[in-house]
Structure 1
Amino acid sequence: MKKVLKILGIFILILLVGGFGYFGYIYFKASSKSKKNMALLGVEAPIIEKNGIKYRDLNKNGKLDVYENMNEPLEKRVDDLVSQMNIEEKAGTMFVTMIGTTPDGEPVETPIISLDMMNMMMSFMMPSNSELIAKQKLNSFNILSSIDAKLLAHYNNAIQKMAERTRLGIPITIATDPRHGTENNPGASIYTPSFSQWPTSLGLAATRDTVLVREFGDIARQEYLSVGIRLALHPMADLATEPRWGRINGTFGEDANLSAIMTKAYVLGFQGDSLGTNSVACMTKHFSGGGPQKDGEDPHFPYGKEQAYPGNNFDYHLIPFIKGAFPAKTAQIMPYYGIPMGQTDEDVAFGFNKAIITKLLRDSLNFQGVVCTDWNLISDGSIGEARAWGVEHLSPKERVKKVLDAGCDQFGGENVPELIVELVKDGKISETRIDKSIKRILRDKFRLGLFDNPYVDENKAEEIAGNKKFREKGEIAQQKSIVLLKNKDLLPLKKGIKIYAEGLTA
């Protein structure tokens, strides 16, 4: 027995030594790459006052450029910046992907060991912040961390400072999935204890109260703003017409007209009557309606890639967008992964489908905002195969071209800007086409005021996010969302009766 234990101990020791050795190797490798990336950055943008105007000299040329001047018209600022961007900077702007934070709210530059499994996994699997910002020139990210509000605010300030040191100082747009429920499902929703807690979209719809929904949007807006989040990857305007579908709780239910009024109130709460410096932009999803999933399967997976319309109700799924999202002036739209079988001239997923994006969304419905694909349509990676349904046979570069030809502007969950650069240099995509999308993306950054001041007050974030008033409002909404399905001599409860409750918030 002693011999067995001795051998086991030696084996465990070898594993530990090997593990630490491997961690040391990848740590120092990442550290070396980080130093090279940081060397690509320049100085911070100085604050200069000229003719009574204070501005951030983002391109550090010592003069007031049109795009730096908050008093210039929006289109002039956009055109001026686009004229100064090179193709690598334009390509980087057309991607929004996941990015990691340390438990202390610092940009992830090297792998970390942490009790927060999401942070640790991100640090090993994803490129460092500096590689994405300085080297690949991306400036839009979605964060998955649920650290405290003050730390989230600190992280925003840290990466905005990094972005400020890029050649043109283009600020970061931080995006997120919903954070105000109790579910934690990275890629769909993120439980964030430092924010107030509210019902899911399905629970909000159960209240039938559009005033309450708009109030929720306004409170969530304030909490997002306090930590630097400026783009909500929600709401879901999909219809729950297939009861077996696993994402029903993220919808406003199966009634298209109810979903429409809820979607409208939700977007107005986040954005206000128009997109401005106090807004959080909404990326309403998933056009032209996820929900009618064949056999109830989800198109995150290859066996669920088909959307079926046995009752010829394709147009019914458009109602929440036509009567809800668009009247509320949603800033952005995300198509879903699925293939609308038999509805267009080719059976390819929404993000690759020109009939859906250009002919229907752009031309027929006159949507002129940003269209961003759902996540991971292009590249196979550590989280699975590319969800390139209907175009699996195409190469990653060909998929990028097809997405752009379809009419989309931005690629979600990807960081392959080199493919766009290659397409332009090969003459497969014109730079004029790229500029069209770049202008849409930059307009939202300018409207949100990011070029003028992307920083937040870290101490104030702690005071605003999850304050007592906001939490009380959330509790009232949860009470209003409760639906009594059946009552057989149970309610009202009799005095002295004992109740057993279990679950996350019991």
Structure 2
Amino acid sequence: MKKILKITGIVLIGILILLVIIGSVFLIKASNFSKKNMSLLGNEAPLIKKDGIGFRDLNKNGQLDVYEDVNATLEDRVDDLISQMSIEEKAGTLFVTMIGATPKGEPVEGPILSTDMLSVAMSLMLPTNSEMIAKKKMNSFNIISSLEANLMAKYNNAIQKMAERTRLGIPITIATDPRHGTENNPGASIYTPSFSQWPSSLGLAATRDTVLVREFGDIARQEYLSVGIRLALHPMADLATEPRWGRNNGTFGEDANLSAIMTKAYVLGFQGDSLGKTSVACMTKHFSGGGPQKDGEDPHFPYGKEQIYPGDNFDYHVIPFTEGAFKAKTAQIMPYYGIPMEQTDENVAFAFNKSIITKFLRDSLNFQGVVCTDWNLISDSKLGEARAWGVENLTPKQRMKKVLDAGCDQFGGENNPELIVELVKEGALSEERIDVSVKRVLHDKFKLGLFDNPYVSENKALKIAGSKTFRDKGKVAQQKSVVLLKNKSLLPLKKGVKIYAEGLTNPKVLMGYGSLVKRPEKADVILTRIRTPFDPRSEYFLEGFFHQGRLYYDEEEKKELLELITQKPAIVVVNLERPAILTEIEKESSALLAEFGVTDEILVELLFGKVAPTGKMPFELPSSWEAVQKQLEDLPYDSENPLYSFGHGLTYK
């Protein structure tokens, strides 16, 4: 036995030594590759003094160029910079992809060790920061890291300094998916505890308060600005007309007019009345409305590529853009992945579709801002196959040309500007066409003031992001977003009541109001928090983060829940990511509430009447799975005999 253990120990030590050697070789290679990229960079930009004012000499030529002059007109600055850019620099400007920071707020230049597995995975899957900035000459990125505010600010300054050392010193535009919710979904949002916490977009819609939504946008703007984020990859102006769709929780619900006023307020909060140096630009998505997915399946995945209009209701889905985003002058637009089936002269996805982007968005609606594709449409990658729906037969280079021919400007989730360079050198694309899109991207960079000063204060970031004032306002929004669906004279609860609770993250918050008991039979009231049901999936990357499929609780889930809530008067609180089927649960509960991202503390205050619920449903709740299956994907409020209608919401008498 001792001999076997000794041999096993020797083998394990050998394996460990081999892994260390392999890891060391890998790290040395990564370090050498990083040094090679960094060697492509030049000096930092010195300051030039003119009339007592300091200007950044971004191209380091010792003189004040027009594009460096803050007093020159916007058009003159853009034209001057374009005239100095190589085709490689222009091509790099047309890409925006994921980028990450180390846990210490430094650029990722190789594999990182961290307890955050997403950051580790991204460090292995994505090119290094220096490769994208110095070698590929890219200058727009979607940051995926969630750090303390000072570390995010530190990271911004580090990559801005790297960009400053490129030939022309073109600054970085840092973009992000939503960060102010209470949940984490790497495919759509990033949980960031250092920022204030707010309800989801559905919750904002439930408040019916456009002033509050604009205030949210303004607070989020300040928090983004403090850490260097200048482009919001939101809001979603899509409509939740298909209850099974996994991204309903990012919308403002199923009503086009409600979505329009919420979208307008949201964008105005981020951008202000016009795009300027204190703005965060909004990339409103997903034109022309990504909600009516066939059977509710999401087009992130091959089985969800078809977007259909059985109710002939295409125009309804455009209203949040025309009456909301465009009236607020959204800086940018993102089309979705899906194919608008039988709506144009060819069944290809929105970003490849000239009828949608040029004829409709550009010509009919006169949108002249940046149009950026959704992520990973062009090339297969470690993240999965390209979502090139309708043009799967084309090569990556051909897909890229088709996107530009359609009228889009930037490629999301891609890092292959060399394909554009090849297209131009082959004569398949003119440099003049590239210039049109580059100018649009540069316009926003100049308007945001990035060329004049892209740096932020780490100390100020800590004071601004997540400040008490901002967190308190987020709590108010959470309070106003909760919808009281049913109340059989149970709420508000009286102090001292005995409560048995399940599903709370922090049950101890009840102790200041009632007494917490360990068994249902000892309770006066049962309280349980539940979530919207879904079908777990794991075939494709990110699929596990998208809650799709069924809206009903399976027999096991339902049996367990009903057995609990039939023992005593029961309060059921359901987090609605999508319109869950609650018919049997509603029948057995004494009180039923819907929430869209609310803490236990806020919930308890509502239950005990410290504040009264005032929210209104942003979509209707179906009464059965059969009713869901009969609904038409593009029509609002078309469920047979809904359990609760759009706009339903009670309060305390």
Q: What TM-score, normalized by structure 2, do the two folds share? A: 0.76
The SS at the match of 2:483 is coil
Q: Does 1:234 align with 2:252?
A: no
Structure 2 residue identity aligned to 1:483: V
How far off its partner does 1:319 sit? 0.4
The SS at the match of 2:452 is coil
Q: Deviations over 1:183-229 (max 9, x none)?
A: 11113100000000000000000000000000000000000000000
Correspondence for 1:271: 271
How far off its partner does 1:489 sit? 3.0
1:357-368 to structure 2, matched below 5 A, reads 357-368=357-368
Question: Which structure 1 segments of 5+ residues have no match?
Answer: none
Q: Deviations over 1:152-184 (max 9, x none)?
A: 000000000000000000000000000000111
Q: Distance in 1 between matches of 2:112 and 2:249?
A: 34
Structure 2 residue identity aligned to 1:35: K
The SS at the match of 1:108 is coil
Q: Distance in 2 between matches of 1:5 and 1:238?
A: 62
Correspondence for 2:386: 386
Correspondence for 1:405: 405
Q: Distance in 2 between matches of 1:231 and 1:348?
A: 28
Correspondence for 1:104: 104
Q: Distance in 1 between matches of 2:122 and 2:186?
A: 12
Q: 1:285 to 1:7 in 2, by over 3 A?
A: farther
Correspondence for 1:479: 479
Q: Deviations over 1:242-267 (max 9, x none)?
A: 00001110000000000000000000
Q: Distance in 1 between matches of 2:269 and 2:9?
A: 60
Q: Deviations over 1:439-485 (max 9, x none)?
A: 00000000000000000011000000000110000001000000011
Structure 2 residue identity aligned to 1:476: V
Correspondence for 1:262: 262
1:23-422 to structure 2, matched below 5 A, reads 23-422=23-422
Q: Distance in 2 between matches of 1:443 and 1:281?
A: 12
Correspondence for 1:457: 457
How far off its partner does 1:10 sit? 4.1
How far off its partner does 1:123 sit? 1.5
The SS at the match of 1:373 is strand
Q: Distance in 2 between matches of 1:471 and 1:400?
A: 43
Structure 1 residue identity aligned to 2:309: Y
Q: Distance in 1 between matches of 2:17 and 2:239?
A: 53
Q: Percent identity?
A: 78
How far off its partner does 1:500 sit? 1.9
Correspondence for 2:501: 500
Q: Which sits farther off after the overlay, 25-34 or 383-392?
A: 25-34
Q: Distance in 1 between matches of 2:311 and 2:87?
A: 46
CA RMSD of aligned residues (A): 1.2
How far off its partner does 1:22 sit? 2.2
The SS at the match of 1:486 is strand
Q: Does 1:425 align with 2:435?
A: no
Q: Which sits farther off after the overlay, 3-12 or 455-464?
A: 3-12
How far off its partner does 1:25 sit? 1.7
Q: Distance in 1 between matches of 2:133 and 2:495?
A: 61
Q: 1:503 to 1:68 in 2, by over 3 A?
A: farther
Q: Distance in 2 between matches of 1:14 and 1:309?
A: 62
Q: 1:485 to 1:83 in 2, by over 3 A?
A: same
How far off its partner does 1:496 sit? 2.0
Q: Distance in 2 between matches of 1:242 and 1:10?
A: 60
How far off its partner does 1:501 sit? 5.2
Correspondence for 1:17: 17
The SS at the match of 1:334 is strand
Q: Distance in 1 between matches of 2:27 and 2:135?
A: 19
How far off its partner does 1:7 sit? 5.0
The SS at the match of 1:182 is coil
Q: Deviations over 1:31-62 (max 9, x none)?
A: 00111111100000001102333100000000
How far off its partner does 1:11 sit? 4.4
The SS at the match of 1:240 is coil
How far off its partner does 1:111 sit? 1.1
Q: Distance in 1 between matches of 2:5 and 2:326?
A: 68
How far off its partner does 1:75 sit? 0.3
How far off its partner does 1:2 sit? 4.8
The SS at the match of 2:226 is helix
Q: Distance in 2 between matches of 1:391 and 1:86?
A: 30
Structure 2 residue identity aligned to 1:228: G
